Amino acid sequence: MPSFLVFGGANFYGRALIQQLCKEREQAIAAGESKADWVIRGVDKILPQLASFPADTLHLYQTFDYRMGNLRSQEFLERAFVRDSANGSEQHSWDYVFNFAAEHKFGQTDQVYEQDVHQISVSIARLAAQFEAGVLVQLSTAHVFKAKGNARHSEDDSLDPPHELAEAHIRAENDMRAITALPLVILRPALCYGPGDRQNVVPMLIAALLSKVGGEKMPVLWEKDLRVNTVHVDDVASAAIKTARWHYKTPGAALFNLADPGDTTNIVLAQTVAKVFGTEPTFNNSAVNFFVKRLKTAELTEEVNESLLGPWMDLLSAHGISNSSLSPYIDQEHPYCRLDSRPLGVDGSRITSTPGLGFEYAYSTPTTAALQVIVEEFQQLGLWPQIAA
């Protein structure tokens, strides 16, 4: 009877993981297994009803055990591990524990990153070891490598985290590795996109829509061939499940980058995004020179407010949308803001070549169809104007 405990079960990454686990459960039931043989628990700081999920996803969250609480609370984390055994007594052991709760949102304070990345991750890891979990899968980030031109980074390359968010993830990784009794998998995804994304690719989608509405081409920063490697959130979820089973009750830590084999570059991503709305990107030198001088200063926010935020708010208002959580603003911690000095080149091939693991990327490169799914879901939720692509 497999048991799955998912921290961060209502965020962008955790939602994809929960969906895949529930799909596997339904397939097992169709093959003759009992639903009671599958124990799935999601844990997060927010109710699914407040997570801007579509109706079918909300229905899915009614089919398994979900707990909401303060992830910074040690008491709550301990309670999250408690489950009833067959004889009615309490037990704490889980086969598979996933920590997808570590903060990935850009633009937070150093204190938030320390608490919501480092401290939460280490607390979950210690409890997983204490209660003898079969394996813990930790979702980290690939935005951590020391710059080496436009090359791709392997898991063993030198680290030089560019900001506190990345620093906190590396501190968490190091402290978790020191828990020798814990079977541990660390996943480092590149720029991740898919249903529910709000900060990685969505700002570019908004810029493309505004360009279409304005009858202009979409201006794009940086050189065309700079790497901005990507991975779909469904592949992140699949990798988490595959590596968890592969590393189950295996001592030590395993580390994998996650980046699709398409080796996405700036021009490829820009062309794919622009195509969603039938426009084209333009790598305008004057635009580059205008923004580059400001990307590392506070003036970036002001310029983006004037060039994108205002028109976006006007467009939402014109379509009767008074409250949308979506924004074209790209925080300075976003890898795209550092692409000129730190291209995001990530080699995600180790996970596909590891014997016995059996993982393959379902999304070999970002496609217009995959990006359209993101937009259509936001339209369904009333967060995006009903403008045909």
Listed in order, the ranges of the chain carrying CATH 3.40.50.720 are: 3-196+230-261+345-364
pLDDT greater than 90 at residue 219: no
Instruction: Tell me what pLDDT residue 298 has.
Output: 47
More reliable by pLDDT, 288 or 247: 247
Fill in the DSSP letter of residue 154: P
| C-alpha–C-alpha distance, residues 251 and 177, integer Å | 11
Kindly state the average pLDDT of the residues 328-348.
88
Could you report the per-residue pLDDT of 248-284, keeping only the tens digit for each?
A: 999 999 999 999 999 999 999 999 999 999 999 988 5
CB 357 within 8 A of CB 244: no
Q: For position 301, what pLDDT does the model report?
A: 46
Q: Which CATH architecture has domain 3-196+230-261+345-364?
A: 3-Layer(aba) Sandwich (3.40)
Residue 59, Cβ neighbours under 10 Å: how many?
11
- The predicted model scores a pTM of 0.94
Share in percent of the chain as helix, strand, coil (round to 5): 40, 15, 45
| 162-183: pLDDT as tens digits | 999 999 999 999 999 999 889 9
**Cα–Cα dist 385/349, whole Å:** 38
25-43 pLDDT tens trace: 999 999 988 888 899 999 9
